[in-house]
Amino acid sequence: MSKTWIVMKNMLKIHYSRAGNNNSQIILLSIAGIFLFPFLFFYLGLINNAVSGLYELLEPFGQSSVIIGLLFLLLTALLFIISFVLVISSFYFAEDINSFIPLPIQPYQILLGKATVPLLYLYVTTFAIYFPVLFYFGSNSNASIVYYLLGIILFVFLPFIPFVLAAIFVMFIMRFVNIAKNKDRSKVLGGIFVLLMIILLNVVVRLNANPDEMMENFAQFIQEKDGLLQMITAAYPPALIGSKALTVAGWESLLYFLLMISISIGFIFLFIIVGQKLYLGGVLGINVGNKKNISSERLHKKLRKHPVWLSYLQKELRIIFRTPTFFMQCVVQSLFGPIFLVIILMMDSNFNSLSGTLDQFSYKQQILILFAATLFILSANATGISSISREGKSWHTNLFLPLDLKQVFLSKIAAGWTINLVSILLIAIGLIVVLDISWLLFSLWLALSFVASWFTSLMGTYLDFSHPKLHWTDEQEVFKARLIGFLALLFEFVPLGIIVVIIWNTPFVQGGIVTFVLLLLLMFIATALVHYLLQKKISNKDYQKII
C-alpha cells in the first residue's frame, strides 16, 4: 500500500510540477480569483434559492427527498462525462507510465497512480456542487448532526462509481482499437470514439425522456412518500441508496449509508480487477510505427522549395496533426463544442427546421449574437495558447536557426488561424443548413470570423509567450494544470463580450452594416494592440529568457 501511495504522489508531482515563474503564477491566480469571487456569491445564492424553492414546494407532499435524489443523479451524470475525458487523457495520452514500468510495483498500483489525477479533478467538481446543495438542504430541513456527518463522509465515495464505470468503458474501447499497429492513430481514434459516445449517450437519454408518460407517472408516484425519488432514480439505484442514507430517519439511514459505501468500495475492486486485465496490455509498447521505405524518387518529390513562413507553418501543422495529444486538444476538442451544440439544438426542436430562429432579432442583434458565439468558440481553441509551449525542449531550435523571430510568431499564429478554419467551416454549415441565414448576413459573419480567428490565435500566442510551459515531459502538461485556457477566455472573449452587450444596448447604433463595421473596427484595434505588445516582447528578446 505504501508503494501505491508513492506512485500516486509522484504522478501528482509530475502533473503539477512547475519550473520557475512562481511569482507570475501567483499573480495570475490572484487575477483569476478576483474575477471569480463575485461569481462565488452569485453561485451560492443561486443554489440556495433553488434548494429552498424546491423544498417549500415539495415538502408538503412528503417528496423533498427528491432534491437529494436529483443531486445524486445529476452529479453522477456530470462526473461520468468528465471521467471519460479525464480517463482518456490520463490513462492513454499521458506517457509518464514508461517511467513506472521498470519499478518493482504491481500493475494495479500503477493503475491507482494513474487514477489519482482524474480523481482529483472529480473531487474538485463534486466539492463545488455537492456541498452547497447538501448544506442548504440541511438547513432547510433542520437536519440533525448525523445528516451532516454522513453527508460529509459520503462525499469521499461519490466519485468512485461514475469514475469506475467510465474507466472500464474507456479501457474496453481502447483495448479494442489498440489492435492496430499504429498506436498514435489508434489513440486518436479511441479518443474520438469516446467523444462520439458522449454525444450519443446524450441523444439516447433525450430521446427516452417522454414528457407525457412522465406526467402520468408523476401523478401516481406523488401519492406515496418518497415516491418521486423512487421514480427518478429507478434507472440508477446508487442514487436512491445515497439519498435514502441522507433522508430517512434513525438506524435505517445508517443501513443505507453502509450499503452505499460497500457498493462504492466494490466498484474500486472491480476497477482494479478489470483494469489489471485490460489496461497494461493496451498501453504498453507505445510505438509510433509507420516505418516504410520510400524510394529515392519519392523522397526527391518531397524536396520542394517554399518560402520560410510557409515551410514553418507546414511544420507546425504537421506536428499538431501527428501528435495525438495535440491533435485531440487543438483540433478534435474544439470541434466537439460546436457539434455538441448543433445536435442539442436539433434534438430540442425535434428535428424540425430551426430556420428563421434568428428572425425574431433585429439585424444588428443577429450580427452581435453570431459574432459573440463564434468568438466564444474560437477563444476555446487550444492552438493559440499552446503555440510556444508545444515546442517544449525544442524551443531553442527557433533561436539558433537563422529565423526571424517575428516570422516564427506570425507562422505560429497562422497555424492557429488555419486550424480555426475547421471550426469556422462547421459553424458555417450550421448557419446555412440549420439556421438558414441570408447570404449577406453570412458574408458579414464570415469576414468577422476571419478577423476574430486571427485575434484569438494572436492573443493566445501572446499569453502563452508570457507564461510558457516548456519544461514538460509529457504533452498533456501543455494543456492541463495551467490557467492559460481560462486566461484566454478572460482576455479574448470577456472584453469583446462586454462590448457586444454595450452595443446591443446602445440605441444609436442601428442597422446590420453599421454594427458590422463597428465590430470590424474594434477587432482591428484590438489586433493591432496585441501585435504591438507582442512586438515589444520580441524586441526585448523575451524569447531567450523563457528557456
Binding site for another protein (CB under 8 A): 20, 287-288, 290-294, 296, 298-300, 302-308, 311-312, 315, 318-319, 322-323, 393-394, 396-397, 399-404, 541, 544-545, 547
| Identity of the amino acid at 16 | Y
- 277 vs 300, which CB is nearer to another protein? 300
Closer Cβ to another protein, 226 or 477, answer by number? 477
Contact (CB, 8 A) for 466 and 357:
no
Report the nearest approach of another protein to the CB of residue 286 (Å). Answer: 11
**Residue 107 Cβ, how far from another protein at the closest point, in Å?**
26
Q: Nearer to another protein by C-beta: 60 or 307?
A: 307
Nearer to another protein, 92 or 363 (CB): 92
Separation CA 329–CA 351 (nearest Å): 30
CB nearer another protein, residue 56 or residue 404: 404
Identify which of residues 248 and 538 has a Cβ nearer to another protein in the complex: 538
* Tally of CA atoms within 13 A in the half-sphere of 40 that contains its CB: 7
| DSSP codes joined into one string, 439-494 | HHHHHHHHHHHHHHHHHHHHHHHHHHHHS-----SSGGGGTTT-SHHHHHIIIIIH
How far is residue 287 from each of residues 67, 114, 182, 283, measured CA to CA in Å?
A: 50, 20, 7, 10
Q: Which is nearer to another protein, 144 or 544 (CB)?
A: 544
Nearer to another protein, 215 or 303 (CB): 303
As measured in angstroms, the least distance from the Cβ of 284 to another protein is 17
Measured CA distances, 39 to 18, 42, 46, 398 (Å): 28, 5, 10, 41
Q: CB of 100 within 8 A of CB of 4?
A: no
Distance in Å, CB of 541 to another protein, minimum: 6
- If the CB atoms of residues 388 and 426 are measured against another protein, the closer one turns out to be 388
Assess contact for 381 and 416: CB atoms under 8 A. yes
- By beta-carbon proximity to another protein, the closer residue of 357 and 418 is 418
HSE at residue 9, side-chain half, CA atoms within 13 A, is: 6
Residue 95 Cβ vs another protein, minimum distance, rounded to whole Å: 12
Q: Least separation, in Å, of the C-beta of 405 and another protein?
A: 9
* Residue 30: exposure state from Cβ atoms within 10 A (0-12, 13-18, ≥19): exposed
Instruction: Give the CA distances from residue 140 to residues 67, 91, 154, 254, 492, in Å, rounded to whole numbers and listed in that order.
Output: 12, 42, 20, 21, 41
In the Cβ-directed half-sphere of 384, how many Cα atoms lie within 13 Å?
32
Minimum CB distance to another protein, residue 310 (Å): 8
Q: Nearest approach, Cβ of 547 to another protein (angstroms)?
A: 7
Minimum distance, C-beta of residue 313 to another protein, in the bound complex (Å): 11
Alpha-carbon separation of residue 333 from 91, 168, 188, 339, 371 (angstroms): 17, 22, 11, 10, 21
Alpha helices, DSSP H, located in 222-250: 227-232, 237-247
> Of 13 and 545, which CB lies nearer to another protein in the complex structure?
545
CB of 392 to another protein, least distance (A): 9
Give the nearest distance from C-beta 462 to another protein in angstroms. 20
Q: 342 and 438 in contact (C-beta within 8 Å)?
A: no
Q: Please report how close the Cβ of residue 102 comes to another protein at its closest, in angstroms.
A: 19
Q: Are the C-beta atoms of residues 545 and 470 closer than 8 Å to each other?
A: no
Read off the C-alpha cell for 242: 445515497
DSSP state for residue 350 in the 8-state scheme: T
Nearer to another protein, 20 or 102 (CB): 20
- Any residues with CB less than 8 A from the CB of 23 and at least 6 apart, and which? none
For residue 395, the minimal CB distance to another protein (Å) is 9
Contact present, 58 and 64 (Cβ < 8 Å): yes
Cell 442583434, residue located: 365
- Cβ proximity to another protein, 323 vs 515, nearer residue: 323
C-alpha cell at 326: 495535440
